[in-house]
Structure 1
């Protein structure tokens, strides 16, 4: 087949329909995905690079199994954190395989996550791993996509998102993130190269500095209740309490900075011709996603 014939064949071949849920960390992407999955036959494909790996489930804010309501989630806790870090090119290949599997089963793929560089790599018709699409110095993202995409951008107002992120950090620590991070620190005391792929997760470098000064006991891990013991020690040690509060403050600050960076990338993709349906949320709670079916039924999306 000539190159022109191959191009024509690709043009005539129907493209798979894919819904892509985008947004900053903490905006409500997972809850929207579950809303859609309750109304359409869907399966979720994770596009958050930290959630690809097993481990630190609370720290990386993976949707709990009970909240998935039986909806299959692909590329979530699927890879060994001791392996090589996944590249955008590898995600493009694995994401395409996941989408193909979902489509062949008669379901709608929902790509959900905040790693926009991975989303870009997965969706564009031609991906150049050397192109610096998000730096502002390289080439722009291509508007030509290899799927028939419906983009849903959950756009929460910055003040509301910042307030929610602050509360979410506190909640995650209460739910067990502190013990997860203490266990991860302990793992690397005996195996410095352990779980390398998770070292960039927000919370890891911040608490590493705290644990270097106030080390947890050997063998500590999730469910051991070390946070309660540590809290008791902080009550009697103002220096330790101050160090803990500073770590939490930095985690919240870094979450806000990450959200800003994610939004910048999304706006850059929209500026390159990606048609994004933006849902501005002025409150983080109480939204019932009433416009989901209307957006999903629009031209070129799953409603056709």
Structure 2
């Protein structure tokens, strides 16, 4: 992929949005249908770690559809990948993709990692998201970025997130967490890394509650599920707030409204795939194509 004729900087696509908004699906759809030289770099600060694939809701091999994915479940969960380390690793991967004539597509909800990667100068102690104090967000970027924000209004997204948690539980999330704790693995993972995954602290509280009173296990389970859902809602809201900070700082973030898709999913409306293609995939494709042609 050539550097931008306007800026001289390497071109990358960045797909961001709140948890559950369809970022991974969109990136694969673009890579399989329109930009077949794409390679995806995961930018979710929990999904970078190996383990707890259901709990962290990693995209499956089947869903990846043969598209190369980087930094997805590759980091030892006993360690913590800092934003600075992510910047270094992802930068090398981007260089490799560009050298192969490919299109780097950064995908994830961790705005702080996106910021660490693309900011011209980065210092963990004085960045816009990770430092001990809130600092201004820089508008100086080291890549020519096409920022895509997949947005779903929260009153529609939250019921979907609740449904998604139920589906994750049906797929074995609770059993996965049970084995994670039973094996003692929870004692070795980094508490600032995989240990922060939604589901881990909630299950730990479930264990404490259930051990105190074995007759109230069902109550403890229901409370754990309720907290997983509530914490997921709060995460989505925080992620949107951070994206808005980037926009306010002058980042050219193109918003794609996927609300109608999720409304259709929740009401069992026919033609969800068609709505997704017309209202999400096609507009994104046009934005990215225009960006690459500049």
Query: Shorter-chain TM-score: which interval?
Result: 0.7 to 0.9
Q: Say if 2:23 and 2:108, in contact at 8 Å, map to a contact too.
A: yes
Q: Which residue of 1 is the match for residue 225 of structure 2?
A: 248
Q: Say if 2:126 and 2:133, in contact at 8 Å, map to a contact too.
A: no
1:193 paired with 2:188, answer yes
Q: Deviations over 1:75-94 (max 9, x none)?
A: 11111112x20111111100
Q: How does 1:138-157 map to 2 (within 5 A)?
A: 138-157=134-153
Distance 2:170 2:55 in 1: 11
Q: How does 1:116-127 map to 2 (within 5 A)?
A: 116-127=111-122
1:113 paired with 2:108, answer yes
Q: Say if 1:182 and 1:211, in contact at 8 Å, map to a contact too.
A: no
Q: Which residue of 1 is the match for residue 23 of structure 2?
A: 29
Q: Which residue of 2 is the match for residue 267 of structure 1?
A: 244
Q: Which residue of 2 is the match for residue 60 of structure 1?
A: 56
**Structure 1 residues 181 and 273: alpha-carbon distance in aligned structure 2, compared to 1, 3 A threshold:** same
Q: Which residue of 2 is the match for residue 292 of structure 1?
A: 284
Q: Which piece of structure 1 moves more, 124-133 or 202-211? A: 124-133
TM-superposed deviation, 1:268: 0.3
Distance 2:236 2:6 in 1: 39
TM-superposed deviation, 1:74: 0.4
Distance 1:184 1:130 in 2: 33
TM-score by length of 1: 0.83
Distance 2:188 2:53 in 1: 19
Distance 2:146 2:154 in 1: 24
Q: Which piece of structure 1 moves more, 196-205 or 28-37? A: 196-205
When you count helix as a share of all residues, which structure comes out higher?
A: 2
Gaps of 5+ in 2: 266-271
Q: Deviations over 1:127-161 (max 9, x none)?
A: 12111413895331111111110000001011111
Q: How does 1:1-304 map to 2 (within 5 A)?
A: 14-38=8-32, 39-40=34-35, 41-82=37-78, 84-134=79-129, 138-188=134-184, 192-194=187-189, 196=191, 197-214=193-210, 239-283=216-260, 284=262, 285=265, 286=272, 287-288=276-277, 289-298=281-290, 301-304=291-294
TM-superposed deviation, 1:14: 2.8
TM-superposed deviation, 1:195: 5.7
Q: Deviations over 1:241-278 (max 9, x none)?
A: 12111110110000000111111110001110110000
TM-superposed deviation, 1:59: 0.5
Q: Say if 1:206 and 1:247, in contact at 8 Å, map to a contact too.
A: yes
RMSD: 2.1
SS across alignment from 1:290: helix
Q: Say if 1:88 and 1:121, in contact at 8 Å, map to a contact too.
A: yes
TM-superposed deviation, 1:192: 2.4
SS across alignment from 1:51: coil
TM-superposed deviation, 1:101: 0.8
SS across alignment from 1:56: coil
Distance 1:54 1:214 in 2: 28
